[in-house]
Copies of this chain bind each other. A is one copy, B any other.
Amino acid sequence: LSGHYESLDYECDESEIAHMEEKRLGYQHTRRIVVLKWLIMLLIGICTGLIAVFVDFTVKNLTKFKFSYVQNKLETCLSEHCLFKPYLAWIGINISMVLIAGLLILWEPVARGSGIPQVKCYLNGVAIPHVLRLKALIAKVLGVIFAVSGGLAVGKEGPMIHAGAIVAGGISQGKSTSLKFDLHILKYFRTDKHKRDFVSAGAAAGVAAAFGAPVGGVLFALEEGASFFNQQLTWFIFFASMTSTFTLNVVMSAIDGHFGDLSSPGLINFGLFKDTPYMWFELPLFIVVGCIGGIFGALFNQLNLRLTKFRHHYINKRWLLVIEVILVAATTVVVAFLLIIGTMYECRPIKTQLELNSPTIQLYCPDGQYNVMGTIVFSTPEQAVRNLFHSEIGTYYPWSLLVFCIIYFCLTCWTYGVIVSSGLFIPSLLIGASWGRLVGIVLHTLFPSNVKYFDPGKYALFGAASQLGGTMRMTISLAVILIEATGDIGLGLPIMIVLTVAKLTGDYFNEGFFDMHIALQSVPFLPWQSDIFAYQLSALNIMSAPVIQLKTVEKVENIYHILRTESHHGFPVVDHHTDETSNQRAGTFQGIILRHQLITMLRKRNFISLNDSLRDYLTMDDFRESYPRHPPIESIHLTNEERELYCDLRPYMHLAYTVSHSATLPRIFSMFRGLGLRHLVVVNDKNEVVGMITRKDLARFR
């Protein structure tokens, strides 16, 4: 496990000064905090919704501009035999856009990928450095715009989740060091615990905006993120998600020219399935489709894992990364071009395409007809999915669909991991929809009498669900997201069945996509349960010992020394009734003091002389001041006189949980997850400190 990451602390502060502050502020304050929380949730929802609109609007227009330009050139060149011209223009535009996206990531590396693993880690209790910075937001949003517009096989939905999380983190803290701005009223939210609440709401709002799925957002936050469940928090999250969808709908309706009509759906809309019945004898088919998706998903994960490892080893210089991203962009265009050329004569009469709102491309087709593959290639992935769902029976040639599916699979697999910010939802849906439609076509050919049931579009939907489930291994949240995104609940039950089967099948082979990436980065991620052999391990086997500990009244010199030499973030405080001379350090456990608290005490010179008692208490505000980036110990310099003084740790120490040395691993696990711990002190029968357990000690046993 990497020592690069520090944990977050989701416990309430239980110290004398915390209780004093609570008492001083009283009941009124608690109510004000709740009202403030609702307001902040509202703001989070609105901002996330607006960002989603911005992304969508920009992507749509950039893409439209690009395609109309290329398409124009293409059609004029068809006759003039200058096909290389549009081709070069296309490559040029794409590469430059993707290059911008890549450079943004070089500027802020944390914005790479979809951001979902990072958000998951944060909610699990691990702070990935820089993950909630403003810089990350900018890189993420602009990066995804250029990546998608640059024609890469990426979606813009995943990044919205990360963007929402950053927005939430930022708004709730009301403070920006780079912008030199501090909203004092929000200082009470400057704890890991409160911040997590907001971040989970932000992530949910991101989902809600991306898919127009407020309930899906809540479920996503619960299923993927939460190590906690709390009714009130769920309502807060729900409120933020609702606001986000609502904002998005209002603004989108204005942009689309029917301002105020909110029944128009969210950011993506896969279109209603009207009158699509299903029969009980399709149940085995659902299961088969689920299995296929599970296998393909697992394959995808495995390939991507290999690729990521390869990249990690060999493509580790900045310029190599840039070259790779350019290569991906170029390959994508070449392949698209070849696809179009290869299927040049596959034409269909223009009929339903107009309804489906996507461009039709004539190419070598006779008038009144359009090129099928060209239409897929020249539309955004969302439109392509929509086409696969709703095009008439017989629109697609099975062979070209198969080729498209394989190519897109490989492209997506390659693309996720290069230095762009990229989502995986839509590409997975597109892969799934194409093989799903293929399944539908096969069924339809085998049983032509049951056309009504073996609708290729319906099976495209199931395929999409299956592929998504096989890759990401979520069930309920994905089901709800898909239902909300198609705006259609009639097929809800089969979607759920397909997703569950896909998840189970996939789990047989490997982990979910995001979990894999988390494991790859050696993040000390705490899973839901410990290993099943864990009952054979007790606290004694897990803990670190000896423990660096402090006395309730400790010499400044010692504290300073410990902080300089040890990198730990928490130190048990023990009673010092043992003989000073006998050198025996064990004392009964009193509480835990955090590194940043000690540093603040040193910085504020909160010292007493021996036999004196503390009069000038530091307040919670003193400790909050430097949240979340506390100054390092190196910034503090003490005189020799000061070093001889003492610190009284008792008012500041946190009355932490302890666990007996005979406790087993599963029990320690459930304490960490159930109570959101950062440090757990192991004590013996006499309440003497014998060891220390942190998340890193546990994460080894997943």
Residues of A within 8 A of B (CB): 12, 14, 19, 22-23, 27, 30, 214-215, 218-219, 222-223, 226, 228-232, 234-235, 238-239, 242, 245-246, 249-250, 253, 259-263, 276-281, 475-476, 479-480, 483-484, 487-493, 496-497, 500, 503, 528-529, 532-533, 535-536, 575, 588, 590, 655, 657-660, 662-664, 666-667, 670-671, 674-675, 683, 685-687
B483 and A489 form a contact (CB under 8 A): yes
A19 and B664 form a contact (CB under 8 A): yes
B14 and A667 form a contact (CB under 8 A): yes
Picked from B219, B278, B658, B666, the residue with its CB within 8 Å of the CB of A262 is B278
B489 and A214 form a contact (CB under 8 A): no
| Min distance, Cβ A124 to any Cβ of chain B, angstroms | 12
Q: How far is the CA of A80 from the CA of B218 in the complex (A)?
A: 62
Residues of chain B within 8 A of A667, CB atoms compared: 12, 14, 655
Q: How far is the CA of A483 from the CA of B575 in the complex (A)?
A: 59
**Given that A238-B476, A489-B488, A493-B246 are contacting pairs, would A535 and B230 also be in contact in the complex, using a CB cutoff of 8 Å?**
no
Look across to chain B and name the residue whose beta carbon is closest to the beta carbon of A660.
Answer: B655
Residues of chain B within 8 A of A229, CB atoms compared: 222, 226, 228-229
Stoichiometry, as copies per complex, reads 2
Q: How far is the CA of A27 from the CA of B536 in the complex (A)?
A: 12
Q: A238-B476, A262-B277 are in contact. List 12 more A-B contacts (CB 8 A).
A: A14-B663, A214-B492, A215-B215, A215-B496, A239-B500, A242-B500, A488-B489, A590-B685, A658-B660, A671-B675, A674-B674, A675-B675
A280 and B260 form a contact (CB under 8 A): yes
Picked from B27, B215, B276, B500, the residue with its CB within 8 Å of the CB of A533 is B27
| Min distance, Cβ A618 to any Cβ of chain B, angstroms | 19
**Given that A238-B476, A489-B484, A493-B249 are contacting pairs, would A670 and B663 also be in contact in the complex, using a CB cutoff of 8 Å?**
no
Q: How far is the CA of A658 from the CA of B686 in the complex (A)?
A: 13
A500 and B238 form a contact (CB under 8 A): yes
**Given that A27-B532, A246-B493, A655-B660 are contacting pairs, would A476 and B675 also be in contact in the complex, using a CB cutoff of 8 Å?**
no
Q: How far is the CA of A238 from the CA of B228 in the complex (A)?
A: 19
Q: How far is the CA of A87 from the CA of B483 in the complex (A)?
A: 48
Look across to chain B and name the residue whose beta carbon is closest to the beta carbon of A208.
Answer: B493
Picked from B12, B222, B487, the residue with its CB within 8 Å of the CB of A490 is B487
**Given that A475-B235, A664-B19 are contacting pairs, would A683 and B675 also be in contact in the complex, using a CB cutoff of 8 Å?**
no
Picked from B262, B492, B657, the residue with its CB within 8 Å of the CB of A279 is B262
**Given that A229-B222, A229-B228, A280-B260 are contacting pairs, would A675 and B685 also be in contact in the complex, using a CB cutoff of 8 Å?**
no
Q: How far is the CA of A218 from the CA of B222 in the complex (A)?
A: 12
A261 and B235 form a contact (CB under 8 A): no
**Given that A487-B489, A493-B245, A675-B671 are contacting pairs, would A281 and B260 also be in contact in the complex, using a CB cutoff of 8 Å?**
yes
| Min distance, Cβ A634 to any Cβ of chain B, angstroms | 35
Residues of chain B within 8 A of A253, CB atoms compared: 280
Q: Return the 4 tightest CB-CB contacts between A and B, nearest first.
A: A229-B229, A674-B674, A263-B277, A260-B280
**Given that A229-B229, A261-B279 are contacting pairs, would A479 and B246 also be in contact in the complex, using a CB cutoff of 8 Å?**
no
Residues of chain B within 8 A of A500, CB atoms compared: 235, 238-239, 242
Look across to chain B and name the residue whose beta carbon is closest to the beta carbon of A18.
Answer: B535
**Given that A14-B667, A683-B687 are contacting pairs, would A23 and B238 also be in contact in the complex, using a CB cutoff of 8 Å?**
no
A528 and B475 form a contact (CB under 8 A): no
Q: How far is the CA of A675 from the CA of B676 in the complex (A)?
A: 11
Look across to chain B and name the residue whose beta carbon is closest to the beta carbon of A533.
Answer: B27
Picked from B476, B483, B590, the residue with its CB within 8 Å of the CB of A234 is B476
B496 and A242 form a contact (CB under 8 A): yes
Residues of chain B within 8 A of A234, CB atoms compared: 222-223, 476
Q: How far is the CA of A273 from the CA of B491 in the complex (A)?
A: 17
B670 and A675 form a contact (CB under 8 A): yes
Q: How far is the CA of A284 from the CA of B492 in the complex (A)?
A: 31
Look across to chain B and name the residue whose beta carbon is closest to the beta carbon of A232.
Answer: B528
Q: How far is the CA of A358 from the CA of B468 in the complex (A)?
A: 42
B666 and A12 form a contact (CB under 8 A): yes
Residues of chain B within 8 A of A491, CB atoms compared: 263
Look across to chain B and name the residue whose beta carbon is closest to the beta carbon of A29.
Answer: B532
Residues of chain B within 8 A of A535, CB atoms compared: 19, 22-23
A588 and B664 form a contact (CB under 8 A): no
| Min distance, Cβ A73 to any Cβ of chain B, angstroms | 40
Residues of chain B within 8 A of A670, CB atoms compared: 12, 675
**Given that A19-B664, A280-B250, A489-B483 are contacting pairs, would A476 and B218 also be in contact in the complex, using a CB cutoff of 8 Å?**
yes
| Min distance, Cβ A284 to any Cβ of chain B, angstroms | 13
Residues of chain B within 8 A of A30, CB atoms compared: 532
Q: How far is the CA of A658 from the CA of B529 in the complex (A)?
A: 22
Look across to chain B and name the residue whose beta carbon is closest to the beta carbon of A239.
Answer: B500
Residues of chain B within 8 A of A496, CB atoms compared: 214-215, 238, 242
Residues of chain B within 8 A of A675, CB atoms compared: 670-671, 674-675
Picked from B215, B219, B663, the residue with its CB within 8 Å of the CB of A479 is B215
| Min distance, Cβ A388 to any Cβ of chain B, angstroms | 21
Q: How far is the CA of A278 from the CA of B263 in the complex (A)?
A: 6
| Min distance, Cβ A661 to any Cβ of chain B, angstroms | 10
Residues of chain B within 8 A of A12, CB atoms compared: 666-667, 670
| Min distance, Cβ A425 to any Cβ of chain B, angstroms | 19
| Min distance, Cβ A113 to any Cβ of chain B, angstroms | 22
| Min distance, Cβ A22 to any Cβ of chain B, angstroms | 5
**Given that A488-B489, A500-B239, A588-B686 are contacting pairs, would A231 and B27 also be in contact in the complex, using a CB cutoff of 8 Å?**
no
Q: How far is the CA of A683 from the CA of B684 in the complex (A)?
A: 13
Residues of chain B within 8 A of A683, CB atoms compared: 687
